[in-house]
Structure 1
Amino acid sequence: MVAVWVLAVLVLHHLGPLHAQEKVLTYVVAIAPFVLLGLVVWRRHRQDSVSDPVEDDAAL
């Protein structure tokens, strides 16, 4: 496991610092899937609650 971290540090050191555009792209690629997943779950929950309000009351 330590070898993986050493390799990662060496690669990052070799590549140098990221430009501003690369930083933004990295953050978007890292965070966007979670934001999209959250929106999908929220929308499905909203659709389910609107389509079957009787089932929600019966579950309580």
Structure 2
Amino acid sequence: MTSVLLSLFHLGALHPVEKGLTLLLAFGPFVVLAVVVAVRRRQDAAAEAPAASEAEAAGLPAQPQQPTEQPQPPTD
């Protein structure tokens, strides 16, 4: 099992710091993207929660926000 992991991370004759920087450069953007997506989903859920609770307090069914339609260019 160890040899499989070693072969996956074999990047040639690199200094350990260079290997770490290479892996950070390769996988870092995906980690940042995952964090941004998680934060945005939490913010969206938090923004929708008060609207749903206000509708429940007023006795109205909660309605999801409808996407706005894009104006269509005129066709000839």
Give me the TM-score of the superposition, normalised by structure 1.
0.61
Counterpart check, 1:32 vs 2:28 = yes
Provide the alpha-carbon RMSD of the alignment.
Answer: 2.0
Q: State, as a whole percentage, how many aligned pairs show the same letter.
A: 44
Give the total of aligned pairs.
Answer: 43
- When you count helix as a share of all residues, which structure comes out higher? 1
Specify which of 14, 17, 21 is matched with residue 13 of structure 2: 17
Q: TM-score, normalised by structure 2?
A: 0.49
Gaps of 5+ in 2: 1-10, 53-61, 65-76
Gaps of 5+ in 1: 1-11
Quote the residue 1:52 is aligned against: 48
